[in-house]
Chains A and B, each alone.
Chain A
Amino acid sequence: MEAWLRLVTLQDANTRVVLLGTMVLGVACGVVGVLAGLRRRALAGDAVAHAALPGVCVAYFAFGDGHFGTLLLGALAVGLLAAAGISAARAVPRVKEDAVTAIAIGGFFGAGLVLSRMAQDRPGGHRAGLDGFIFGKAASMVASDAWTILAVAAVVVFVVAVLRKEFTLLCFDQSFAVGLGWPVRWLDQLLMLLVCLCVVAGLPAVGVVLVVALLVIPAAAARFWTHRIRTMLVVAAFLGAISALVGTAVSAILPAPAATGARGWPTGPLVVLVAATLFTVSLLAAPDRGLVARAVRAWGMRRRVALQHLLRDVYERLEAAGDLGAAWTPLSLSRKRVDGVVVARARAAGLVQRDAEGWRLTDRGQAEARRVVRAHRLWELWLIEHADIAPDHVDRDADELEHVLPPSVLAALEARLRQGAATMPASPHPIMPAAPGPGLAP
């Protein structure tokens, strides 16, 4: 309880710094991650992050470990080198992008291992904090780290805000951007620079693998919520910030597990787990692209299709006799997909009714059946006349679209086929098993 209070009131200067730092990092990584992800380069940040390790060591060899900033500059330089190397190798046709990325991840990390071992063995040298860079130590973040992150985030958000239009075109239609004479290669490098900046700023706090998580996960989650890139940027920034906030708060509040002594819960991994939870929620519950929404839509569609198939079956059965009000039994229908459940649902919807002789279409049912059959036949006729499909093939093709034809399309079809709105076109193919009767005037 006391821990809660201290957290909520931000009494602890250290907590304040860590919360602010990780949150701003989440915003910056979310924004850049959206662009990198849309450019199908979601894991380029992974290569850059692994390349930062030899960068730190090189800076250590060159300048000693006097200042943390020089180490980060070394990381930035080698990270950019890796990004440029990947871009260059990708231009070779036989080289595949994912292979180059994987090779850069392993190769640069290996170089980091080699150099850090050598740094360790130098007289007076100590291990250049490689472990710290791999796993991150958010809890030991100090004010100057937070200021670095804040500055980087400000630059990143500013650049993305100014060049949003350019980056959007780069992501969606690179060839068009080339055609417009834009410096596409430089834009690409600028995007990689932004990725490098985010990675290097985040390394000390959350470590190599987890900064990649901040770049990838909020961006991937944001794609479920919207189709518009501007909204996507905002949503990703928001998700990144929330993950960082909640993850940091949880690691501050949870009592340290008994086995770890005073070390407490690791902040970076908790941030990532919160982000992963938000991703799962987005995957399931997003209104349009979420799995639940899609499943519900598919279910509703299946129900509607089954109902319309029933009506069309009944109509085509009764058409020859010329009496839509005649009685029928579900067993006499031709198709397997008409089952008792569908008939019961049609009854509940007031489309069919039952009396002593069997089942009948109600007036509403007759009107609906007429509409459905019209849509089917108009579409079949259009396929035969304008898409050159053989009459005995159109039935199944029409089946796939007739259920989703909007009235405007039907009107257009009528105009194209010069059918009056009132008439029912004859079926262009025999209806099994009996021969087609004459068109039934409504």
Chain B
Amino acid sequence: MNLDAGDLWTMATAACCSVACGTLGCFLVLRRLSLLGDAIAHAILPGLAVAFLLSGTRDLAPMLVGALVAGLITAGLSAGLQRWGGVEPAAAIGVVFTTLFALGVVLISLVARSVDLDPGCVLYGLLEFVPLDTVAVAGMQVPRAFLWLAGTMLVNLLAIGVFFRELRLVSFDPALATAMGISVGLVHHGLLALITATAVVSFEAVGSILVVIMLVAPGATAHLLADRLATMVAIAAAMAALAAVLGCLAAIWLDTSVAGMIAVASMGIFAAATLVAPRHGVVARWCRARKPSLQTAP
């Protein structure tokens, strides 16, 4: 198998995207908001459609704004349905994102022939074509998507580093956080805004469905492997990068969809961790249960 420069750029872009999503996703997993990531990723479609209808162009800026607004509307509506309507969390999320998605399909069918706005691209992503769209940076041709995603990754890591204490308190003990003068709502909404922005930047490269698994799988995997939050975030970043690299290599080897293969790799890593994680995995628990011991369960 020969890797050319384009393949390496694809791999680097995928890794940046995966790490950006996966580290933030730890908090999504801990706060049991994983399905909200799913909903936000689906709601990007109507956001793009409305942005196109309003602006009449396919420029990046209105598209990003439209998708961002749609993601925030999804989060707000499903939270409102839960709080005021008494609808269960999963059902509320399901109602909101399927409705918005249907709206998106209808809107796109209104403009479909006049413009090349392919719902397929939104869902599947164009990771293979990342190396084709480059800008010159310091005399080197660098893919535009790589710059965007690397920037997003840095912003996310920086945000997690700066607000680590707040995020930890809000994730594990919201009551204590409130007592210590941290606004749980502010942290929650800041996290959601950051996740929506990350999903929006990512979807163009990797497709909105892949964003779902990139957000959740590394965090869920790391949760099985780590007992401290800092370790968990670090492991999530490592697992995210591993999934991206493995997925890219497998896709190039089999000559198939890179985004799809990264999703499969992420799910595979998660499944493996579920089985063989040293303390919380199925095998370890089974061995502990068989071995009579005076040690109490942790």
Q: Which residues of A contact B (CB under 8 A)?
A: 37, 40-43, 46, 50, 85, 89, 92-96, 98-118, 121, 131, 134-135, 209-210, 212-213, 215-217, 219-220, 223-224, 257, 259-261, 263, 265-266, 268-270, 272-273, 275-276, 279, 283, 289, 291
Q: Are A106 and B220 in contact (CB under 8 A)?
A: no
Q: B35 near A: Cβ within 8 Å?
A: yes
Q: Are B99 and A111 in contact (CB under 8 A)?
A: no
Q: Please count how many residues in chain B sit with their CB below 8 Å of the partner chain's CB atoms.
A: 72
Q: B29 near A: Cβ within 8 Å?
A: yes
Chain B residue contacts of A220, Cβ below 8 A: 87-88, 91-92, 94-95
Contact of A107 among B90, B123, B266 (CB under 8 A): B266
Q: Are B267 and A104 in contact (CB under 8 A)?
A: yes
Q: Least Cβ distance of A47 to chain B in Å?
A: 10
Q: B159 near A: Cβ within 8 Å?
A: no
Tell whether A273 pairs with B103 under 8 Å between CB atoms, given A95-B220, A98-B35, A102-B37.
yes
Tell whether A107 pairs with B112 under 8 Å between CB atoms, given A114-B251, A131-B120, A217-B95.
no
Chain A residue contacts of B37, Cβ below 8 A: 102
Contact of A96 among B88, B95, B212, B220 (CB under 8 A): B220
Tell whether A110 pairs with B106 under 8 Å between CB atoms, given A46-B94, A94-B224, A117-B257.
no
Q: Measured between alpha carbons, how far is A117 from B207 in the docked complex, in Å?
A: 15
Q: Are B38 and A217 in contact (CB under 8 A)?
A: no
* Cross-chain pair count, CB within 8 angstroms: 228
Q: Are A105 and B103 in contact (CB under 8 A)?
A: no
95-117 of chain B: CB within 8 A of chain A: 95, 97-99, 101-103, 105-106, 109-114
Q: Are B110 and A268 in contact (CB under 8 A)?
A: no
Q: 0/1 per residue, B172-210, Cβ < 8 Å to A?
A: 000000000000000000000000000000000000011
236-293 of chain B: CB within 8 A of chain A: 251, 254-257, 259-264, 266-268, 270-271, 274, 277, 280-282, 285
Q: B32 near A: Cβ within 8 Å?
A: yes
Q: Which residue of B lies closest to A107 (CB)?
A: B267
Q: Are B257 and A114 in contact (CB under 8 A)?
A: yes
Q: B213 near A: Cβ within 8 Å?
A: yes
Q: Which residue of B lies closest to A295 (CB)?
A: B84
Q: Measured between alpha carbons, how far is A284 from B186 in the docked complex, in Å?
A: 29
Q: Which residue of B lies closest to A256 (CB)?
A: B109
Chain B at the A interface: mostly helix, strand, loop or mixed? helix
Q: Measured between alpha carbons, how far is A121 from B63 in the docked complex, in Å?
A: 32
Contact of A110 among B110, B113, B213, B282 (CB under 8 A): B213
Contact of A92 among B110, B114, B254, B282 (CB under 8 A): B282
Q: Which residue of A lies closest to B211 (CB)?
A: A106
Contact of B99 among A41, A108, A263, A273 (CB under 8 A): A273
Q: What are 6 inter-chain pairs, A to B, with CB distance below 8 A?
A: A37-B91, A96-B223, A106-B213, A210-B102, A213-B98, A266-B106
Q: Are A114 and B264 in contact (CB under 8 A)?
A: yes
Q: B34 near A: Cβ within 8 Å?
A: yes
Q: Measured between alpha carbons, how far is A253 from B198 in the docked complex, in Å?
A: 41
Q: Which residues of B contact A (CB under 8 A)?
A: 29, 32-35, 37-38, 42, 81, 84-88, 90-95, 97-99, 101-103, 105-106, 109-114, 119-120, 123-124, 209-210, 212-217, 219-220, 223-224, 251, 254-257, 259-264, 266-268, 270-271, 274, 277, 280-282, 285
Extra contacts besides A106-B217, A114-B264, A217-B94 (10): CB < 8 Å: A99-B34, A106-B216, A108-B267, A109-B260, A111-B260, A113-B260, A212-B98, A220-B94, A259-B112, A269-B106
Chain B residue contacts of A216, Cβ below 8 A: 91, 94-95, 98
Q: Least Cβ distance of B121 to chain A in Å?
A: 11
Tell whether A92 pairs with B280 under 8 Å between CB atoms, given A210-B98, A259-B113.
yes
Contact of B34 among A96, A121, A209 (CB under 8 A): A96
Q: Least Cβ distance of B202 to chain A in Å?
A: 12
Q: Measured between alpha carbons, how far is A101 from B212 in the docked complex, in Å?
A: 10
Q: Which residue of B lies closest to A50 (CB)?
A: B209
Q: Measured between alpha carbons, how far is A391 from B51 in the docked complex, in Å?
A: 63
Q: Are B105 and A266 in contact (CB under 8 A)?
A: yes
Chain B residue contacts of A101, Cβ below 8 A: 34-35, 38
Q: Are A269 and B274 in contact (CB under 8 A)?
A: no
Q: Least Cβ distance of B221 to chain A in Å?
A: 9
